Amino acid sequence: MLGKAVVLFLAVAVSPFAAIMVTAFLLTEEIPADRLAFLAALPASHPGPFALGLFVIVALAWAIAALVTYAYLAPLRSIAEGTRVIALSNRRHRLSDEGSREMREVASSINALADRFLAVEADVMGRIQEARQALEEERNTLSALVAKLTQGVLVCNPEGRILLYNPRAQKLLEAEARATGAADWVGLGRSIESFIDETQLAHALEHIHHRLAAGDAAVLVPFVVQRPGGQTLSAHVVPVLDNDRRFRGYILTLEDITQRAGVDARRTTLLQTLTEGQRSAIASIRAAVETILTFPDMDEDGRQQFLGAIRDEAVKMSGRLDALEVEYAEELKTHLPFQEMLGSELVAAIGRSVRETGGVDLEVDAPLDPIWLRVDTLAIERSVLFLVSQLSQACSASALSLTLEQRGGLVGLALSWSGAPLHGEALKRWGLRNVMTDRHGTSLNLFEVIERHGGAIWAHPPAIDGRPFVRIVLPVSEGRQAADRDAAEAGYGHDFDFRLFEETTQVVDRMNAPLSKLSYTVIDTETTGLDPRGGDEIIAIGAVRIVNGRLLRREIFDSLVKPKKPIPEASRAIHNISNEMVRGMPPITEVLPALHRFVEDTVIVGHNVDFDMCFFALAADETGVLFDHHTLDTLLLEHAIHANQEDKSLEAIARRLGVGVTARHSALGDAVTAAEIFLGMIPLLEERGIRTLAEAKAASAATPAARHHQY
């Protein structure tokens, strides 16, 4: 811009001199020689007027050049940048109507064209949306079904990169690892080998390929996965084939069998105790009997000693068998035929059973929200039926009702009635009476049924309405409750991207790969101040992932960090993070290693990202992790794209690109905003020929602002 202004100035300044010289040349032929001598002598005898005239001409030329530059050249460059934003990134961006009349007319015409383009685009997109509606419904249905499954489900491409996962899979693979401090992250584009042993998975896939080659149409390979913290998962691998039966990837289902494995181990121990533990006693008894039989003439004292030994070993065996019987009975109690069912279905089934079996009309009530229970339905039905029968006889109970209610992790079955109250001593006697016989032929009393469910039962005095009641308390099913909760939080499941079936997600030459093909982690931090080398510390970190050109809003990192020093009041006024909020939070030595695993195999992006990376680098010795990732700075990229836009704050850039700003000055909020800005920048960079990571880094380094962003 300055070069064009200088050229314009020279043109304006030289033009008057050129005109004077041409005019003088034409007039010299008509002027007499003596007059020419007079005119030639004027500048030498009166230099002031000539110098003044020259100054006026130069000043006038400079003023004209500056006016034209300010009124036309600079606005034209800004208009060109704004037009590119409309064409490539933000259709709703509009040019400013400030400046000269001509510039306002140009901007107005471009805005009108943009309005027309937006209207046409909206019409076309509406038609496309109608055509895609059925496909979108199928997509949402698939997402909802996968999210509601109680099993963990992952879909992977042939490289083992995750294309789809449900909340249950995320919980199974992340929860136990985080409890041991070795958390990995489930996410689109990440490798399944971070969670499943590579050898086990390779063996299963080899078996699948072998069976597919043999023409086996129904292939399912099971194996067991041992996870950190003693977690045991049952895994099944099923291939995904195209129409030509070519291998495109696989589905991996996971189920937590830790408790089941523990039960089997305990039973094995019982069996070993029964066999190995009695072997020595039996051997001793056999030896004593054989000695008595071998020496029939043995004296009486010797015979009594051997008989005493036989008696002692028999008593020991009897004691061990009694203990094993009790232990095995307890083991059976923990292995009732439990099933997961909705609480509303349970009370409805109890109501039908009481009405059909006992002839009593039992009113039932359950909340609308789903409450899952893991129960032996028959045992609970028989227990309630027994209580109804006893209450009818002992308390003249009538107008009975059964209400399902949840309080925290417990569910109450409140059986109320009109009639005499129930005394605690009577309930104790009832609790010892048999209510059913289980599948092993063992009679169970009321208390044993409740105990096997991990519950409790007690009688209440009359409530406010004058009706006494008995409450049976049972635990909720954590597995189904967690699955429902995860699905609700995830909004019908997590993102998936089946386009990753068609392409490799592992970029070997990252520097020369297209920007749209790379995976990114966009980060932001909140700190105690702006001087990382002067002792300021990180107090919050937020990060979000971009895979295959999509912002994955559910795959986030969000953590407060406990600093070593108090947070200054000036910093708190900006980010609203107080000392009370970070008290009890993990230190930087725990947070940065977890973040390092989160950003694995991605390019780090941030707004003024060198500021954040400086904090990470200074903490490397303390945390033991080094962030040597490639980085891109949205602030420097903005300078490369829009050099003529004066306001380069995060809010201004977001406004130009049509990005909404939420939760400003929160680490995660600013990271999400920066991620959306970066996605909007990619087509603008490509239009300028900046298509690879290497080109983007070079363009950033070439901006004048790059020299002022070193920490």
Residue 501 counted as domain residue: no
User: How far is CA 98 from each of CA 90, 637, 649, rounded to the nearest angstrom?
Assistant: 20, 26, 21
Task: Indicate the residue among 313, 333, 353 that finishes a domain.
Answer: 333
Contact 683, 672 (CB under 8 A): no
Is residue 479 predicted with pLDDT exceeding 60? Answer: no
439/351 same-domain check:
yes
- pLDDT value of position 9: 46
Q: Both 329 and 345 in a single domain?
A: no
Residue type, 352: R
Q: State the residue range of the domain holding 22.
A: 1-145
Give the position of tokens 């899979």. Answer: 169
Q: What is the model's pLDDT at position 8?
A: 46
Tell me which of 277-291, 296-310, 338-352 is least confident: 277-291
Residue 502: inside a domain: no
Closest to 376 measured CA to CA, from 403, 343, 336, 405: 336
Q: Is residue 240 located within the same domain as residue 282?
A: no
Specify the pLDDT at position 320: 67
Residue 687 pLDDT grade (very low, low, confident, very high; cuts 50, 70, 90): confident
Judgement on whether residues 159 and 111 belong to the same structural domain of the protein: no
Among the ranges 58-72, 479-493, 645-659, which has the highest mean pLDDT value? 645-659
| 15: amino acid identity, one letter | S
CATH code for the domain in which residue 308 is found: 1.10.287
The highest-confidence range among 183-197, 316-330, 611-625, by mean pLDDT, is 611-625
Distance between CA atoms of residues 63 and 562, nearest Å: 59
Q: With 70 as the cut, is the pLDDT of residue 197 above it?
A: yes
| Residue burial 107-130, b: 16+ Cβ < 10 Å; e: rest | beebbeebeeeeeeeeeeeeeeee
Q: 6-20, 49-63, 595-609: which range is least confident on average?
A: 6-20
- Determine the pLDDT at residue 2: 45
User: Is the domain of 289 the same as that of 326?
Assistant: yes
Q: Are residues 303 and 431 in the same domain?
A: no
Q: Say what the pLDDT of residue 4 is.
A: 46
What are the tens digits of pLDDT across the range 323-364?
A: 655 555 555 444 455 677 788 888 888 988 888 887 888 999
- Per the domain annotation, does 34 fall within a domain? yes
**165 inside domain:** yes
Residue 620 pLDDT level (bands cut at 50, 70, 90): very high
CB 661, CB 651: distance < 8 Å = yes
CA 486 – CA 471 distance, rounded (Å): 30
Q: Which of 207, 236, 596, 665 is catalytic?
A: 665
Task: Flag whether pLDDT at 284 surpasses 70.
Answer: yes
Query: What is the full DSSP assignment across 391-410?
Result: HHHHS--EEEEEEEEEETTE
- Exposed, middle or buried: residue 570 (CB in 10 Å: 0-12, 13-18, 19+)? exposed
More confident residue, 162 or 219: 162
Whether 215 and 140 share a structural domain: no
Per-residue pLDDT at 167: 83
**Side chain identity at residue 291, one-letter code:** T
Q: What element of type H or E holds 53?
A: helix 47-68
Looking at the fold, whether 584 and 544 belong to one and the same domain comes out as yes
Contact 462, 468 (CB under 8 A): yes
Query: What is the per-residue pLDDT for 64?
Result: 63
DSSP state of 551: E
DSSP string spanning 348-367? HHHHHHIIIII----EEE--
Positive or negative torsion for Cα 658, 664, 665, 668: negative
pLDDT of residue 536: 94
Evaluate whether residue 496 is within a structural domain. no
* pLDDT of res. 86: 77
* Bridge partner list, 476: 373
Which one is predicted more confidently, 75 or 111? 111
The amino acid at residue 281 is A
Half-sphere exposure of 402 (CA within 13 A, CB side): 28
Whether 521 shows a pLDDT value over 90: the answer reads yes
Across 120-134, 141-155, 423-437, 524-538, the highest mean pLDDT is recorded for: 524-538
pLDDT at 149 over 60: yes
Please tell me the distance from the alpha carbon of residue 254 to that of residue 170, in angstroms, as a whole number: 10
- Tens of pLDDT along 98-135? 767 777 777 888 888 887 777 777 777 777 776 667 66
Q: Is 358 left (phi over 0), alpha (psi -120 to 50) or beta?
A: alpha
Q: How far is CA 633 from CA 131, 620, 699, in A?
A: 39, 21, 11
Q: Determine the average pLDDT of the residues in 177-183.
A: 52
Q: Which position has the higher pLDDT, 77 or 617?
A: 617
Could you tell me if residue 367 is left (phi over 0), alpha (psi between -120 and 50 degrees) or otherwise beta? beta
Whether residues 294 and 177 fall in one domain = no
Q: What is the pLDDT of residue 685?
A: 92
Segment 559-575 mean pLDDT? 92
Q: Quick one: tokens of 568?
A: 């200054």
pLDDT band at 277 (very low <50, low <70, confident <90, very high): low
Return the closest-CA partner of residue 667 out of 563, 538, 525: 525
Quick one: pLDDT at residue 493? 42
* CATH at residue 196: 3.30.450.20
CA torsion through residues 79, 81, 86, 90, sign? negative
Confirm if 705 and 636 have CB atoms less than 8 A apart: yes
Question: Which residues are registered as beta bridge partners of 174?
Answer: none
Torsional sign, CA 653, 657, 658, 664: negative
Nearest CA to 479 out of 235, 167, 223 is that of 167
For residue 352, give both structure tokens. Answer: 């039908």
- Could you give the CA distance from residue 527 to residue 567 in angstroms, rounded to a whole number? 9
Which of 316-325, 349-358, 493-502 has the highest average model confidence (pLDDT)?
Answer: 349-358
CATH number of the domain bearing residue 539: 3.30.420.10
Last residue of a domain, one of 129, 145, 161: 145
Distance CA 527, CA 613 (A): 12
Extract the tokens encoding 142: 């698939």
Q: Percent of the chain having pLDDT more than 90?
A: 24
Number of separate domains in the chain: 5
Picking from 57-66, 410-419, 606-615, which range would have the lowest pLDDT averaged per residue? Answer: 57-66
115 with 215, same domain: the answer is: no
Residue 498: partners with Cβ closer than 8 Å, 6 or more residues away: 155, 163, 164
Residue 11: inside a domain: yes
Q: Which amino acid is at 205?
A: L
CA dist., res. 557 & res. 674, Å (int)? 15
Last residue of a domain, one of 435, 451, 475: 475
563 compared with 303, residue with greater pLDDT: 563
Mean pLDDT across the stretch 64-78?
62
Average pLDDT over the chain reads 78
Q: Is 537 helix (H, G, I), strand (E, B) or coil?
A: coil
Task: Return the axis-axis angle of helices 258-294 and 300-333, rounded to nearest 10°.
Answer: 170
| DSSP H stretches of helix in 470-598 | 478-490, 569-575, 579-582, 588-598
Distance CA 97, CA 105 (A): 8
For residue 604, what is the enclosing H or E element?
Answer: strand 603-606
Q: Other C-beta atoms within 10 Å of 674: how many? A: 27
Dihedral angle of Cα 371, 374, 376, 377, to the nearest 10 degrees: 20
pLDDT for position 148: 67
- Give the phi and the psi of residue 428 in degrees, each rounded to 5: -60, -40
Q: Which amino acid is at 3?
A: G
287 and 252 inside one domain: no
In a domain, 480, yes or no: no
Task: Say whether both 580 and 620 belong to one domain.
Answer: yes
Whether 665 sits among the annotated catalytic residues: the reply is: yes
pLDDT of residue 491: 42
pLDDT for the residue numbered 542: 95
Per-residue pLDDT at 695:
95
Cα–Cα distance measured from residue 270 to residue 292, given in angstroms and rounded to the nearest whole number: 33
pLDDT of residue 213: 85
Residue 498 lies in a domain: no
pLDDT at 488: 47
